[in-house]
Amino acid sequence: MRELTYREALREAMAEEMERDERVFLMGEEVGHYNGAYKVSEGLLDRFGERRVVDTPIAETGFAGVGIGAAMVGLRPIIEFMTWNFSLCAYDQLVNNAAKLRYMSGGQITLPIVFRGPGGAAHQLAAQHSQAVESLYAYVPGLKVVAPSTPADAKGLLKTAIRDENPVIFIEGEVLYGHKGPVQDEEYQVPLGRGDVKRAGQDVTIVAWSKMVQAALDAAAELAKDGIELEVLDPRTLRPLDDRMIFDSVKKTNRCIIVEEGWPFAGLGAEIAYRIMKEGFDYLDAPVVRVTGEDVPMPYAKNLEHEVFPGVEKIVRAVRAVLYS
Amino acid sequence: MDKTLMLSLYRDMMRIRRFEEEAARSYSRGKIGGFLHLYNGQEAVAVGAMSAVEPTDYIVATYRDHGHYLARVGDMNAAMAELFGKVGGCAKGRGGSMHYFDVAKRFMGGHAIVGGHVPIATGIAFASKYRGEPDVTLCFFGEGTANMGAFHEGLSLAALWKLPVIFICENNLYSMGTPLYRTLSVEDVAVRAKGYPMAQEIVNGDDVLEVREVIRHAAKRARTESLPILIEAKTYRFRGHSMSDPAKYRTKEEVKEWMKRDPIRLLAERIYALGIANEEQLKAIDEAAKQEVAGAVQFADESPSPDTATLFDDIYAEPDQHEQDEKVVPLEKRRQQASV
């Protein structure tokens, strides 16, 4: 199988869907002539022209709203946020309009629209450019939230998101763009709402998504040396959540750790932990543990920033804790 | 002057006036909940504008949307039932007063976050241009919107991309309870158009014929040249911002002065002057409107409340096959597929 970067996989997904359906267009800051701030849309302007690859001014509220309006009348926009940090300027559009128009209209409006871009911290970008926003969006009924961890998932999920009839919040891992992975030649899709077992094991279940999947796999490799086998689950879609997969795994391992980049308070992991407790209380041999980013705006200094990340070391420590070893 | 047109405009305005009066009564009787923003006094803007465009042109309105809905869609039963929170309402009782919708008639909603709908209107116009369709989008809002960031971004993009959208500011002098001179750095909202730049026009919002003419020209220009415009209609709301607002910030004299410019009376006087109809004939139109309103109340009363079993319907659009099939794939199978 060929290898593609996460970035190339996303680009291929958009190109294939734009080829397939003329209603699909890409809009955002620097997506066209600049070829994308992170080069995800590189070459798309040459291929599809200015009508379908639309550069915008720095106006998140404006172009998010334009996408919503266009989707209301049948187009299928892909709206790129240069990073998800800037989506907060358009939070009103996403929460009050995209998520609610269908319900408020008694089902008259359909909104097939994808909002996508990089999320999470990269390296030393400080507080305003380093945050994981998935909990902010997964909170809202009417939105779907996707956060792929591999090139193959990124491509398959983005294609499905573009074909979905609902607003999809598609959060790419900023530090994953250059990661390579196998991507099949044939066209394929990955369904929303279905997680994936990234590593099978019987001792402890780890739930992680986006770039935290790799941290979980690295922790698993280290613990395997001691004969501890982690089962690493990647929900891939955070809303709707594949909680069946998580329950089934926990029933076998009886232990679960949730790893997320975001802040701990009211984060997604809290909801997942609650669901496990509610559904699988009798199966648990230890409390569900969360490994999260620290509860602090991201500092700039390298050593401080490192303290904030929920890395391999913290995961290993959590595993040993739930195993009481 | 077109006799049929004049009478039809009169009828449309009277229908709104009588509808709103009944809405106020029903609100006091507890039949309507939530916020209720009435359109009394501003009828000439919605009626003049709707009469000037094609039924295929898109309408985007605010939370003060009854008049626009009635002028475009006309279905008084669905409008009243929506206020009553009934299943026969134009949003099945999901939206209420502030969220009227009739997508089939291209009434793209009442929107209740001030300014939030302006970029949406720009987006609908973007779609028309993208597809090469001749439709124009009308976006209504109040003067309070002119201070919102979303207003600026919506107009800025419409001008940049030359989109066929008509922004109609209904300046009723008060953003909720605060007079314009304390909220707006300019006297006329229309001047804001200059910076984009975009064409601008100020119109007497109490004169339905003047509104109609200005919108007709704007629509023609938008359709043939694909250009946006900002039109400011100077008008006045006869009631408070909403039913919970006694409007004590306005003097009785001021209200009385503006009531002299009642758009319905202005049109009636013109109709008499031109000999198009006499008082009796206009009274008959009024009576018919009242009858229709009474019928709408009956319809709304009789329409059932939404079935609570439908509470979770229409959060997401179907088909949603993805959520279904994940439940049936056994974990063992997925574990086998996992690359360890």
Strands (E), chain A: 3-5, 24-28, 53-55, 76-80, 114-119, 144-146, 168-173, 180-182, 196-199, 204-208, 230-234, 237-239, 256-259, 289-291
Q: What is the pLDDT of residues B283-318, one digit of tens each?
A: 999 999 999 999 999 999 999 999 999 999 999 998
CA distance B37 to B41: 12
Q: Is A123 a catalytic residue?
A: no
Output the pLDDT for position B335.
61
Q: Which residue has the tokens 């420590």?
A: A317
B245 vs A134: CA distance, rounded Å: 39
Q: Provide the whole-model pTM.
A: 0.95
CA A203 to CA A249: how far, in whole Å? 10
A195–B91 C-beta distance less than 8 A: no
Report pLDDT for A325.
83
- Mark A182-197 as b/e (b = at least 16 C-beta within 10 Å): ebeeeeebbbbbbbbb
pLDDT at A183 over 50: yes
> Rounded to 5 degrees, what are φ and ψ at A72?
-60, -30
Which A-chain residues 278-317 have CB contacts (< 8 A) with chain B? none
How many beta-carbon contacts under 8 Å exist across A and B? 186
Token duo for residue A117: 């871009």
- Model confidence at B332, pLDDT cuts 50, 70, 90, reads low
B78 touches chain A (CB under 8 A): no
Continuous segment of H or E residues that includes residue B72:
helix B66-72
Calculate the alpha carbon distances from A144 to A25, A98, A165 in Å: 20, 11, 11
Task: Measure the N-to-C terminal CA separation of chain B; round to a whole number of Å.
Answer: 82
Assign a CATH topology to domain A196-322. Answer: Rossmann fold (3.40.50)
Asked if the A3-182 domain carries CATH number 3.10.20.30, the reply is no
**SS3 of residue A52 by DSSP:** coil
Catalytic residue (one of A16, A30, A42, A129)? A129
- Restricting to A residues 127-146, those with a Cβ less than 8 Å away from any Cβ of B are 141-142, 144
Per-domain residue ranges for chain A? 3-182, 196-322
Each residue of B98-133: pLDDT tens digit? 999 999 999 999 999 999 999 999 999 999 999 999
Q: Which of A17, A60, A172, A261 is catalytic?
A: A60
- Name the burial class of residue B160, with classes exposed (0-12), middle (13-18) and buried (19+) by CB atoms within 10 angstroms of its CB: middle
* Residue-averaged pLDDT of chain B: 93
What chain B residue is nearest to A165 in terms of C-alpha separation? Answer: B317
Chain A, 204-263: which have a CB under 8 Å from a chain B CB? 237, 240, 242, 244-245, 248-249
* Residue B218 distance to chain A (closest CA, Å): 21
The answer to whether the Cα torsion of A283, A284, A290, A291 is positive or negative is negative
Looking at the predicted structure, is the pLDDT value of residue B330 above 90?
no
Tokens of B236: 């006045």
| A197-213 mean pLDDT | 98
What b/e readout covers A160-169, taking b as 16+ CB neighbours within 10 angstroms? bbbbbbbbbb
Q: Is the ipTM of this complex over 0.85?
A: yes
Q: In this complex, is the C-beta atom of A83 within 8 Å of any C-beta atom belonging to chain B?
A: no
Q: Do B130 and A70 touch (CB under 8 A)?
A: yes
Q: What separation in angstroms does the CA of A129 have from each of A124, B12, B33?
A: 9, 53, 43
Q: Determine the topology of domain B3-337 in CATH.
A: Rossmann fold (3.40.50)
Burial of B253 (0-12, 13-18, 19+ CB in 10 A): exposed
Tell me whether residue A129 is one of the annotated catalytic residues. yes
- B111-139 exposure pattern, b = at least 16 Cβ within 10 A, e = fewer: bbbbbbbbbbbbbbbbbbbbeeeebbbbb
A104 contacts on B by Cβ (under 8 Å):
91, 94-95, 99, 101, 109
Distance from CA of B336 to the nearest CA of A (A): 8
Whether A97 sits inside 8 A of B160 (CB atoms) is no
